[in-house]
Amino acid sequence: MAQIHGQLPSEFAELGEMLSASIDAGTDLGASVALTIEGEMAVDIWGGWADEDKTVHWGRDTITNVWSTTKTMTFLSALVLVDRGELDLWAPVADYWPEFAQNGKESVEVRHLLSHASGVSGLDAPCSIEDLYDWEACTTKLAAQAPWWKPGTASGYHALVQGHLVGEVIRRIDGRKLGAFFAEEIAKPLGADFHIGLDPAEFHRVSNVVSPGGPPQDLDNVDPDSPAYKTFTGPEPIAEAAWTDEWRMADIGAANGHGNARSVALIQAIVANGGRVGDVRLLSPDTIDLIFEQQSHGMDLVVGHPIRFGVGYGLWAPETLPFLPESEYCYWGGWGGSLSIVDVQHQVSFSYVMNKMAPEQALDDRGPNLAALAFT
């Protein structure tokens, strides 16, 4: 039976057993699970392997690329500025970033960027994954292009560019790029081991993701003029890109965050616990309430299934979190399976982070099963 390490009170023993069984079955290679209650770390466990050859154990300080779970950190960064009165979610993006008003985007509001409703869910072709590494070039291109649907009318998942869009608004207000703002205003005060743009000195701790062997969405029968096709080719997500130094060091607030379950759960405990963890207060209850103001609820134009979006985060609905009883949840996850769920009503923050990505189009029930157990 795979050995599970860390902090595991007896009342949560089944979480450790479930993680161990997943590693034994080969469903997981290496993974971590964390749970905070009222801002305190209740569960912090890990096990398995940090490499595909099973030569290095997943350790307490192992980190990995969590893909779109990174977006929860981008949301929180924007909300910190909202809380300080420096950012208005209902203001036009162009109030902060004038160049963004080009090509019919003058009415796009900040909340549309956060809730995937801006119409700018990817880069116009031609483009490549390397375009994400050049902040100035990427944001300039995003500012210049026309939306792919009428902004504000529907969500269309901003898979790889949301961090650049929201991050440029943050930079225009604060002067710092997203990664630096997040590090200095959120991660450092909390002592959280999460990074958007990783220092090479930390590379030795990274567990490379294990590629799922294909893209996150099958595009064979998708209309090339659709937002879905344009998003997943603008640029095409490539799992192996996460193995490169250039990806790790870049500022990609939609997808290249590196951390583990402990760091994700700790940071998102700010939302779960009324804006405060320990002596660190980042948000007011009023700002947290904004998260739950529904921005859209319907078929997402990119991922092709219904999503209920608040400000940034996904919100509970029977079709989005069917494995959890109704409560005041906000959540998001990453390509391959990483997951963050916050229950504001019960002041609980849950996270699952792993290195083995679920295969293309597979129903990945690892995080949901662990979450269902954690929230019972």
Q: State residue 137's pLDDT score.
A: 98
312: left (phi over 0), alpha (psi -120 to 50) or beta: left
Q: State residue 217's pLDDT score.
A: 82
Mean pLDDT of the chain: 97
Task: Provide the H-helix boundaries in the chain.
Answer: 13-25, 71-83, 110-114, 135-144, 162-174, 178-182, 188-190, 227-232, 245-249, 261-272, 285-291, 366-374
Cα–Cα dist 169/177, whole Å: 9
Burial of 32 by CB count in 10 Å (0-12 exposed, 13-18 middle, 19+ buried)? buried
Cα–Cα dist 355/346, whole Å: 29
Average pLDDT of span 196-212:
97
Helix (H) or strand (E) segment spanning residue 297: strand 296-299
pLDDT in tens, 117-141: 999 999 999 999 999 999 999 999 9
Task: Provide the H-helix boundaries in 98-134.
Answer: 110-114
* Cis preceding-peptide flag for 318 (omega within 30 of 0): no
CA atoms within 13 A on the CB side of 281: 6
Q: Where does the pLDDT of residue 220 fall: very low under 50, low under 70, confident under 90, or very high at 90 and above?
A: confident
Q: Where does the pLDDT of residue 362 fall: very low under 50, low under 70, confident under 90, or very high at 90 and above?
A: low
Q: Are 330 and 271 in contact (CB under 8 A)?
A: yes
Tokens of 34: 């964390």
Q: Taking 80 as the threshold, does the pLDDT of residue 174 lie above it?
A: yes
- Identify any residues that bridge with 36 across adjacent strands, giving them in sequence order: 41, 349
Which numeric CATH code is attached to 61-268+278-311? Answer: 3.40.710.10
The DSSP symbol for 237 reads P
Grouping H, G, I as helix, E, B as strand and the rest as coil, residue 111 is helix
Q: Taking 80 as the threshold, does the pLDDT of residue 363 lie above it?
A: no
Q: State residue 360's pLDDT score.
A: 67
Q: How far is CA 226 from CA 141, 219, 317, 360, in A?
A: 19, 11, 26, 20
Cα–Cα dist 255/150, whole Å: 25
- 198-229 burial code (b ≥16 CB/10 A, e <16): beeeeeebbbebbbbeebbbeeeebeeebbbb
Q: State residue 82's pLDDT score.
A: 98
Q: Are 13 and 364 in contact (CB under 8 A)?
A: no
Q: Where does the pLDDT of residue 277 fall: very low under 50, low under 70, confident under 90, or very high at 90 and above?
A: very high
Provide CB contacts within 8 A for 80, sequence distance 6+.
185, 186, 282, 283
Q: State residue 216's pLDDT score.
A: 85
Cα–Cα dist 285/209, whole Å: 36
pLDDT in tens, 242-263: 999 999 999 999 999 999 999 9
Residue whose C-alpha is closest to residue 56's, from 67, 65, 64? 64
98: left (phi over 0), alpha (psi -120 to 50) or beta: alpha
Q: State residue 294's pLDDT score.
A: 98
Q: What angle do CA 307, 127, 241 make, to 5 degrees?
A: 75
pLDDT in tens, 95-124: 999 999 999 999 999 999 999 999 999 999
Q: Where does the pLDDT of residue 42 fall: very low under 50, low under 70, confident under 90, or very high at 90 and above?
A: very high
Q: State residue 359's pLDDT score.
A: 86
Domain boundaries, the chain: 1-60, 61-268+278-311
Q: State residue 136's pLDDT score.
A: 98
Q: Where does the pLDDT of residue 231 fall: very low under 50, low under 70, confident under 90, or very high at 90 and above?
A: very high
For the chain, give the percent of residues with pLDDT over 70. 99
Q: State residue 323's pLDDT score.
A: 94
